[in-house]
């Protein structure tokens, strides 16, 4: 089954060309379970896990018994750094630990292919011949988005290689994430209104994710 999509120029007009999409990458039945598992793992792996709270043994002070055990008519207390005291330690304080989740390589690939197929089914894929700017000016990049009628959209942009000019021109534009095609994740693909791709990046995806 041949799958093709129209390629646009930078000014938004149609180029006299189409790019072929691999049915194995863009035309499969989306596997929602794999996409869910992949997104959960990717978000978990972003966490630093450096949170730390002090237990009663780590809070400064509390070495002396606040008052005698009996005779005062109040509850007994052995330390003023007990978790029930103001300024005391925290019961079951969080400790640094890893949140890393591992996924089978085949599951990760299937999740990305499912995400790409989902975006194409929902008509949220745009292919441009080449995404480039002449100088590192935000104005130029915004003009490119306006020409493509994508300025008000949340975008994930896939390119074969990020040039310095493109990086500098796009870094101040909100809701735009540019990433080299070989590093794209399931979350990157799904976390946008429109997936904008260079023609060369699309052809590379056909090869990278082909079953």
CATH number at residue 16: 3.40.1370.10
Residue 130 has pLDDT above 60, yes or no: yes
pLDDT tens for each residue of 18-53? 899 999 999 999 999 999 999 999 999 999 999 999
Identify the domain containing residue 151 by its residue range: 4-47+103-208
pTM: 0.84
Q: Which of 63, 98, 133 is at the close of a domain?
A: 98
Tokens for 178, please give them: 């540019």
Residue 141 has pLDDT above 90, yes or no: yes
Alpha carbons 29 and 5: distance in angstroms, whole number: 19
Alpha carbons 185 and 135: distance in angstroms, whole number: 29
- Say what the pLDDT of residue 2 is: 58
For the chain, the average pLDDT equals 92
Co-location of 12 and 76 in the same domain: no
- Say what the pLDDT of residue 17 is: 84
What is the gyration radius of the CA atoms in the chain, in angstroms? 27
Q: Nearest-CA neighbor of 23 among 121, 161, 130?
A: 121
Decide the pairing of beta strands 155-159 and 14-20: unpaired
Q: Are 162 and 86 in contact (CB under 8 A)?
A: no
Co-location of 92 and 112 in the same domain: no
**Domain count for the chain:** 2
Which residue blocks in the chain are alpha helix, DSSP H?
23-26, 32-46, 105-121, 138-147, 164-170, 186-190, 199-208
Confidence of residue 1 (pLDDT cuts 50, 70, 90): low
Co-location of 84 and 166 in the same domain: no
């Amino acid at each position: 089954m041949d799958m093709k999509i129209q390629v646009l120029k930078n000014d938004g007009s149609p180029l006299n060309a189409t790019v072929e999409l691999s049915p194995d990458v863009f035309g499969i039945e989306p596997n929602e379970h794999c996409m869910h598992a992949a997104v959960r793992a990717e978000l978990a792996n972003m966490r630093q896990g450096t949170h730390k709270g002090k237990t009663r043994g780590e809070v400064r002070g509390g070495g002396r018994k606040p008052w005698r055990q009996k005779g005062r008519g109040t509850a007994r207390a052995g330390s003023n750094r007990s978790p029930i005291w103001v300024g005391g330690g925290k019961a079951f304080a969080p400790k640094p630990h890893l949140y890393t989740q591992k996924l089978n390589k085949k599951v990760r690939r299937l999740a990305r292919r499912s995400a790409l197929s989902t975006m194409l089914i929902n008509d949220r894929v745009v292919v441009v011949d080449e995404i480039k700017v002449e100088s590192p000016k935000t104005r130029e990049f915004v003009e490119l988005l306006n020409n493509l009628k994508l300025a008000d959209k949340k975008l994930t942009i896939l390119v074969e290689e990020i040039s310095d000019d493109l990086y500098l021109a796009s870094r101040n534009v909100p809701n735009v994430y540019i990433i080299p095609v070989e590093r794209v994740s399931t979350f990157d693909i799904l976390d946008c209104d429109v997936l904008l791709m260079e023609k060369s990046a699309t052809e590379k995806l056909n090869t990278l994710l082909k079953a």
